[in-house]
Amino acid sequence: MAELLELENVWAGYGDAVILEDISFRLGEADSLALLGRNGMGKTTLLSTLMGATRFKSGRMTYRGQDLAVVPAHGRAQLGLGWVPQERDIFPSLTVEENLTVVARPGPWHLKRIYDLFPRLEERRANMGNQLSGGEQQMLAMARALMVNPKLLLLDEPLEGLAPLIVQELLRIIGQTVSSGEMAVILVEQHAHQILPLTRQALVLERGRVVFSGESETLRKDRAQLDKWLGVGVH
């Protein structure tokens, strides 16, 4: 598997505050990574660092062999990074279809394919962004990221606060996206049992440091370590 992303001894944070300490991992083309840890342990900060939204302190961060740390935030989407933040950040005054087409870049993900994957969005294509339910907004945020045609998709707690039926639908869609082999995926989620079966690798953060890096299946079977690091997030 060709290497897509590599972090080596990365330190990063906000202002003078250091949140991430000595982070190292590798991700191959079309690979998948579950990024786990309790609240406040640095998961979102790690995704934000990849997207250029934090202060990079030291270390090495390369994407397809290119030094990612020197690429400005606005240039990272052009390199092939797609980000679905916790806040979703959809455009409330645009229709669903306008939200999708305004960011579209050439590639295998186009409007028809998005609607095939998200039939609910096709039904609501003329609705404004602020007329959607929370689950529909999350679908739109994911679909919009795919329309950028990324090589690396970052999903920050896409299942948070959603009804069980919507969670199951999104898990199906995430599973299809991972198994398509068209992009690598880093998936942040509180509930390990939901995403470890979908990913090949897992990384657990504890107070901004890596405490586990290995295969998702190995971690899934280690109930003691899961309980130690994630506590009530394990079922």
* Digit-coded pLDDT (tens) for 64-86: 999 999 999 989 988 999 999 98
What average pLDDT does the segment 202-209 reach? 96
CATH number at residue 218: 3.40.50.300
Residues 28 and 130 reside in one and the same domain = no
Give the pLDDT score at 1. 63
Tell me the two tokens of residue 43.
């998961």
Give the pLDDT score at 208. 97
Residues 107 and 133 reside in one and the same domain = yes
Looking at every residue in the chain, the average pLDDT score rounds to 93
H helix or E strand, kind and range, residue 165: helix 164-179
Residues 64 and 97 reside in one and the same domain = no
Residues 139 and 206 reside in one and the same domain = no
Is residue 226 in some structural domain? Answer: yes
Query: What's 129's DSSP letter?
Result: G
Tell me the two tokens of residue 208.
């901004």
Give the integer Cα–Cα distance in Å for 169 and 148. Answer: 22
Residues 165 and 76 reside in one and the same domain = yes
Residues 112 and 158 reside in one and the same domain = no
Give the integer Cα–Cα distance in Å for 18 and 11. Answer: 7
Instruction: Print the domain residue range for 37.
Output: 3-80+151-233
Split into its structural domains, the chain has a count of 2
Q: What sign does the CA torsion over 223, 226, 229, 234 have?
A: negative
Residues 156 and 75 reside in one and the same domain = yes
Task: Provide, rounded to the nearest whole percent, the portion of the chain with pLDDT above 70.
Answer: 98
At 189, the pLDDT band (50, 70, 90 cuts) reads: confident
What average pLDDT does the segment 27-38 reach? 96
Final residue belonging to a domain, choices 108, 131, 149: 149
Residues 155 and 74 reside in one and the same domain = yes
At 217, the pLDDT band (50, 70, 90 cuts) reads: very high
Q: Per DSSP, which regions of the chain are E strands?
A: 3-14, 17-28, 32-36, 55-63, 66-67, 81-84, 152-156, 184-188, 201-206, 209-215
Residues 156 and 52 reside in one and the same domain = yes
Task: Provide, rounded to the nearest whole percent, the portion of the chain with pLDDT above 90.
Answer: 84
212 DSSP β-pair partners = 204
Residues 163 and 229 reside in one and the same domain = yes
